[in-house]
Structure 1
Amino acid sequence: MRILLTGADGYIGRRLKRVLMGQGGISLRLMVRNRASLSSEIRSDIDIVQADVLKKETLDAALEGVDVAYYLIHGLARPNYRELDRQSAQNFLDAAIRNKVKTIIYLGGLGEKSSASEHLLSRIETGEILSSRPDKVRCLWFRAGVIIGSGSASFEIIRNLVQKLPIMITPRWVQSRITPIGVDDVIGYLDDAKTLSGSQNEMIDIGSEAMSYGELMLRTASAMGLNRRLIPVPFLTPKLSSYWLTLFTPVPYSVASSLIEGLKSEVIMTNNRAEELFGRHPMGLEASVEKAIDEIRNHQIISRWSDSGGGAWEIDHAHDIATAVFTDRRVLSLGDKSPEAVYKSFCAIGGGNGWFGYDWLWKVRGGIDKLLGGAGVNRGRRDSQSLRIGDSLDFWKVVDLVENERLLLYAQMKLPGSAWLEFKIHQGNLIQSAYFYPDGVSGRLYWYALVPFHHLIFANMAEKILERA
């Protein structure tokens, strides 16, 4: 069986990829927008096609000879994502028909079209497009609600809220009903679907038991050994709720507002096709929460909601760094320290490990970024020691990583320009460089205002990296 997995560097895609790679009897092809977002081991062992659903001419190479194609693509990061999602789905369907693909497997969201938010409506429209040609290609359309798993956006929001707030003033949406499901069950259904017999389209709702958001939060807290209290009030609007989530959880305002907007309508299962077709019984909420917490404690988070590029791959970083107007560079001799030790040291920066000094300044900048709708520093990192290309690191994104040689971070904070932070080992030296390309006068004023802080932060950072090595 020849399988194409799209979104292989995303939250669900990374996990499904691990399952599929461990099976025999299939030929797996991965479709990503940037090959570098996958590990070097995978790039050497698996067939990888670099393609983009918005570029029709790239899709035939990805879908040629494929029997089953997983569609795990969603463009929430872009302002006009709903229009782009429709275009992406149509392009993919057309290419699948041209290449005689037998089955498309799509993961969307629960919800009714009449009451859905724009975010959920986009997921529904994508499913309708992919299902629109049953005479040419079968579509198995899975619909899930809140996904409980280490690194999922929904779970990180809930976990952070119940950890930080013993008493929560909540809006009316906590009374809305939802059907949560553990991420392992989602992966299990998607995996089982590839061998599902038949030729007709299927809409398959997946989940465990229905409950309110309030019950979900209280039961999650209980599974974590916490006693929490909710006080619903009528005056918290979706906008205020979004700011509340932004301040207390790792997600930026854009993600929080999309999720909050979707909470106005109930997202519960409307059919029992999952049990009828697969006979699978999803694990309960408490078991899913306990497994997620165990993965976090043991540093086994396979993927996070922020894994996808978010536009970072569309930038020519080499060119833009070369044309940066401002640079702050520190060059220090490695001395008796090995390149391996220094590389390991600067790859441990950020998240819970801190920024090797003046962490309070980083937190102030992160707080400002949160207020402006950015990622902030509490997004943290997936793992406390290891990094991979595509990882989020506070308000940075890892865009290049060369073992024992280089780490390049691209700024995803709100600022008047583009910024990069590079750590490089070259000819016995650690070269630490901050690059900034300003947008007009405001960008230049921003850089000059921060020069005194840069002198403190960056000089100390380079020294501490070598000390830790």
Structure 2
Amino acid sequence: MKVLLTGSTGYIGRRLKQKLLQDENIILRLLVRNKKSITPNLKRSVEICEGNSFDVESLKKALEGVEIAFYLIHSLNRSDYKNLDKISAQNFLDAAIYCGVKRIIYLGGLGIKNKHTSQHLLSRIETGEILSSSDKIQTIWIRAGVIIGSGSASFEIIRNLTEKLPVMTTPKWVNTKTQPIAVFDVLTYLYSSIYIEKKENIIIDVGSEQLTYKEMMLQTATALGLKRYIIPLPFLSITLSSYWLNLFTPVSYGVAKALIEGLKSEATIQNDNAKIYFPNIKPTSYIDSVKKAVDEIRNNQVVSRWSDRFGSVWDKDYTEEIAHAIFVDRRVEDISNFSHEKVYKSFISIGGEFGWFDYDFLWKTRGVIDKMIGGVGLKRGRRDQLNLRIGDSLDFWKVIDVQENKRLLLLAQMKLPGNAWLEFKIDGDKLIQSAYFYPKGLLGRLYWYILVPVHYFVFTNMIKSIIKKSKTLT
């Protein structure tokens, strides 16, 4: 059968894509904003349609001949995401009906509508309601709570707080109940939904044992072999708590705020449909989910991360913007006596745990400043310390192009009065390192000129250190 997967570059989408490719009965088609986000090897295994859920014609093309469509789309990174999510869901539903799709499978969140429901969860619920609103097509609506897996936003928050803070002061909502679920269990439910024989719309709530967020953090400490103390405080507001998470965890302020708002209402299972339709799936316990996630991190086996999603990264043609960058800091070194392959390996391993060479403290200082003003900071690190793919986060950069043994192009995602890129390119026997900056107004120009002395030392050291490090690689 032909299956369409949306959101294939996101946290769940990347993992589900791998699972679907293992099924020989499935012809997999991906709907992506930009074909560049698909690796060359994968392009040989899937059909690719370029477009998005706001372009009706591209939706119809993507859904033509499809029997099952996975809807893993949301617009959380946009300020008007609630309205955009409604438009997106309705467009998708209409196009699916027009193309004769038999089934939509949607992943939403646990929870019910009440006065405490967060705007983010409310949007997820409304999306499910729209997708389930027609009797002309079946929608299977999987509802999951906190997803526990290497790279998930919720797990990154819980793990970072538990590892860094022996004593935690938390909001009163830390006592809210939820039912967490392992990411590999979520994938099993989604994949198994393809083969459900029922034809009517179904809502399936999934999760493991009921736990409060406090209990989850204490169990995480146990899994990590740590002793932790948690003190709930009634006066910690959503805003204060969001800044707290922004400073001590890898997530941005916006993501932290959306997650904390969700703590106000319980997210527990409301039906037994998971047991009815999937009696052979036994959800993994919370503590075992944590142990598996930690093992994946330690063994460098993280398939996807919460920060993988591109969002507006593909909304612009950066090739033209870079070409017209007003400020460029370029360094060139002769690498005729060095292995080009090792030089490439050296510059794609930059950042994360390996840091930024001799001036790493300056990068860390910039990361702290970025966090304090609501940016992403350096704490995102890397998914994989030795390999990069388009869409990966690298500290406060995003990988927008990587060509083996040739090029790495990074887009700055820190708070800046302008747009910035960092490029490493092997051209013949030359290693060319370029920092591009397109300023916004007078402030952007002042920003660049103030940092010129810093750039001199940092970028000169960087290119020389990359070459030096290449000599130590095997």
TM range (shorter): over 0.9
**Residue 339 of structure 1: aligned partner:** 340
Match of 2:153 in 1: 153
Aligned-pair CA distance for 1:196: 0.3
The structural deviation recorded for 1:227 is 1.0
1:247-270 CA distance string (max 9 Å, x none): 110001010011011111111111
Q: Aligned AA for 1:350? A: G
- Normalised by the size of structure 2, how large is the TM-score? 0.98
Alpha-carbon distance in 2 for matches of 1:199, 1:152:
32
Distance in 2, Cα, partners of 1:424 & 1:113: 52
Query: 2:179 matched to 1:179?
Result: yes
Answering whether residue 61 of structure 2 is matched by residue 61 of structure 1, we say: yes
- Separation in 2, partners of 1:31, 1:339: 35
Aligned to 2:120: 119
Q: How big is the shift at 1:74?
A: 1.0
Shift, 1:398, TM fit: 0.1
C-alpha deviation, 1:311, in angstroms: 1.2
Q: Report deviation, 1:375.
A: 0.5
Distance 1:411 1:417 in 2: 10
For residue 53 of structure 1, report the CA deviation from its aligned partner.
0.5
Shift of 1:357: 2.0
| Residue 440 of structure 2: aligned partner | 439
How many angstroms apart in 2 are the aligned matches of 1:35 and 1:15?
Answer: 18
Find the residue that maps to 1:122 and give its secondary structure.
helix
For residues 405 and 24 of structure 2, what CA distance do their matches in structure 1 show?
A: 34
Indicate the residue corresponding to 2:230 in structure 1. 230
The DSSP-based 3-state class of the residue aligned with 1:388 is coil
> Residue 193 of structure 1 corresponds to which residue in structure 2?
193
Task: Work out whether 1:100 is the aligned partner of 2:100.
Answer: yes
Rounded to whole Å, the distance in 2 between the matches of 1:386 and 1:343 is 11
Greater displacement, 226-235 / 123-132: 226-235
Distance 1:362 1:416 in 2: 17
Partner of 1:425 in structure 2? 426
Is it true that 1:140 corresponds to 2:140 in the alignment?
Answer: yes
- Distance in 2 (CA, whole Å) between partners of 1:6 and 1:87 is 16
User: Residues 368-416 of structure 1: CA distance to partner in whole angstroms, max 9, x if unpaired?
Assistant: 1111111101110000100000000000000001111100000111110
TM-score, normalised with respect to structure 1: 0.99
> What is the number of equivalent residue pairs in this alignment?
468
What letter is aligned with 2:262? G
Offset at residue 15 of structure 1 (A): 0.5
Task: Name the structure 2 match of 1:23.
Answer: 23
Q: Residue 205 of structure 1 aligns to which amino acid in structure 2? A: D
DSSP-derived class of the 2:307 partner: coil
The aligned residue for residue 202 of structure 1 is: 202
Runs of 4 or more, structure 1, over 2 Å off, are: none
Task: State, as a whole percentage, how many aligned pairs show the same letter.
Answer: 59
1:258-291 per-position Cα deviation (integer Å, ceiling 9, x unaligned): 1011111111111111011111210100110110
1:299-310 matches, cutoff 5 A: 299-310=300-311
Tell me, in whole angstroms, the C-alpha distance in 2 between the residues paired with 1:101 and 1:213. Answer: 39
CA apart distance, 1:335 = 3.0
Residues 286-297 of structure 1: pairs in structure 2 closer than 5 A: 286-297=287-298
CA distance in 2, matches of 1:105, 1:164: 38
Residue aligning to 1:91: 91
Q: Structure 2: which 5+ residue stretches go unaligned?
A: none
Q: Does residue 247 of the first structure (1) align with residue 231 of the second (2)?
A: no
Quote the residue 1:8 is aligned against.
Answer: 8
| Whole-Å separation in 1 of the counterparts to 2:113 and 2:333 | 59
List runs of 5+ in structure 1 lacking aligned partners: none
